[in-house]
Amino acid sequence: MIAIPRQKPTFRFAPSPNGTLHLGHALSASLNFDMALEAGGRFLLRIEDIDQARCTPEFEAGIFADLAWLGLDWEKPVRRQSEHVAEYQAALHTLIARGLVYPAFLTRGEVKAKVAAGEAGGKPWPRDPDGTPLYPPDDRERSDTERRRLLESGLKHAWRLDISAAVATVGQPLHWRESGDGDRGEILADPAAWGDVVLSRSDAPSSYHLSVVIDDASQGVTHVVRGLDLFRATSIHRLLQSLLGLPEPLYHHHRLILGDDGRKLSKSLGDTGIAEWRRRGLSPAELRRRIGL
Ligand code: GLU
């Protein structure tokens, strides 16, 4: 009999080193670690530092220190997105060559003005699940000649996925398998709700969406465990996985930890970090209890 090799269950925690880790990160990292341990699988740490303008080595060092203090141990070396730009660019270029991605030249100000003008008539402009207005159709509708002319002029641009063309190319409804704290089971993906998402910007070679699906596939991630705030983004991830022929992981979107005011914790809002609790003398076990583990 031929033995079919089974992939070891592989989990990852993927923070961005653009701030200090807070209690929500402690929950996410610990859940990944605990689930990997229980499944006899692997626990990976990935540093999502594609946005070099906001990420620093000091924040990265802080992540390592906080996770080690929590008692977590991860495989080395860690993957850093900034070291894999060529892979993201290669994927982007295959999508451009297939006519699924187009150069987007509108500035933030121009987009704002178009949305305001569109809403002046009283009809709300369509928005994505995060509340951001969908990108206007102008750039998608340009002729090839016009696109070439603008590209050759050196005008700054991003690359956006033509969501209707991408959905049509896949040609069948996409789903994912979910075991988290919100809806569970077979979830129907709705990538069109996001509009023409950015895959690459002039100042960041790859977007979160593009890098995350490539990284998960390259690292052999079988279980994506992350916060419920990314539940709906999974629709875009499933679409990109399908377009790029990447395997489909299982998903588990866990509860979020809210601040005293009911807001989602955020690095940028200066919410109490793991390091601060540590300085106040809390033990790792006490911190785990605090976040309901
Ligand atoms: N880097 C993302 C964050 O810090 C997490 C990405 C993911 O888990 O898919 O929110």
Helix, strand, or coil here: 201?
Answer: strand
pTM confidence score: 0.94
- Among protein residues, the one with the nearest Cα to ligand 1's atom 10 is 15
- Among protein residues, the one with the nearest Cα to ligand 1's atom 4 is 15
Query: What separation in Å is there between the alpha carbon of 16 and the centre of ligand 1?
Result: 7
Q: Centre a 10 Å sphere on the Cβ of residue 40 and count the other Cβ atoms it contains.
A: 8
CA 92 to chain centre: 16
Give the pLDDT mean for 84-106.
97
CATH 3.40.50.620 fits 1-83+257-293, yes or no: yes
- Say what the pLDDT of residue 1 is: 56
φ, ψ dihedrals at 21, nearest 5°: -75, 140
- Say what the pLDDT of residue 26 is: 96
- Among protein residues, the one with the nearest Cα to ligand 1's atom 2 is 15
- Euclidean distance between CA atoms 18 and 58, whole angstroms: 9
Query: What separation in Å is there between the alpha carbon of 274 and the centre of ligand 1?
Result: 17
Q: Candidates 13, 43, 60, 226: which one to mutate for ligand 1, based on the most atoms within 8 Å of Cβ?
A: 226
Catalytic residues: 267
- Say what the pLDDT of residue 203 is: 86
| Residues in the ligand 1 pocket, defined by CB under 6 Å | 14-16, 48, 212, 226, 230
In this predicted structure, the answer to whether residue 280 has a pLDDT above a threshold of 90 is no
In this predicted structure, the answer to whether residue 171 has a pLDDT above a threshold of 90 is yes
Ligand 1 atom at minimum distance from 28 CA: 8
Query: What separation in Å is there between the alpha carbon of 229 and the centre of ligand 1?
Result: 10
In this predicted structure, the answer to whether residue 269 has a pLDDT above a threshold of 70 is no
pLDDT digit string, tens, across residues 77-93: 999 999 999 999 999 99
Ligand 1 atom at minimum distance from 237 CA: 9
pLDDT range class, residue 261, cuts 50, 70, 90: confident
Q: Candidates 208, 221, 231: which one to mutate for ligand 1, based on the most atoms within 8 Å of Cβ?
A: 208
Q: Provide the CB-side half-sphere exposure for 213 (13 A, CA).
A: 24
User: What is the residue extent of each domain of the chain?
Assistant: 1-83+257-293, 84-177+187-215
Q: Centre a 10 Å sphere on the Cβ of residue 277 and count the other Cβ atoms it contains.
A: 20
Query: What separation in Å is there between the alpha carbon of 288 and the centre of ligand 1?
Result: 20
CATH topology of domain 84-177+187-215: Glutamyl-tRNA Synthetase; domain 3 (3.90.800)
Place of tokens 């305001």: 116
Query: What separation in Å is there between the alpha carbon of 14 and the centre of ligand 1?
Result: 5
Write out the two tokens for 130: 């995060």
Ligand 1 atom at minimum distance from 226 CA: 8
- Quick one: what percent of the chain has pLDDT higher than 90? 87
pLDDT digit string, tens, across residues 13-46: 999 999 999 999 999 999 999 999 999 999 999 9
In this predicted structure, the answer to whether residue 182 has a pLDDT above a threshold of 80 is yes
Using alpha carbons only, give the angle 258, 226, 43 rounded to the nearest 5 degrees.
Answer: 130
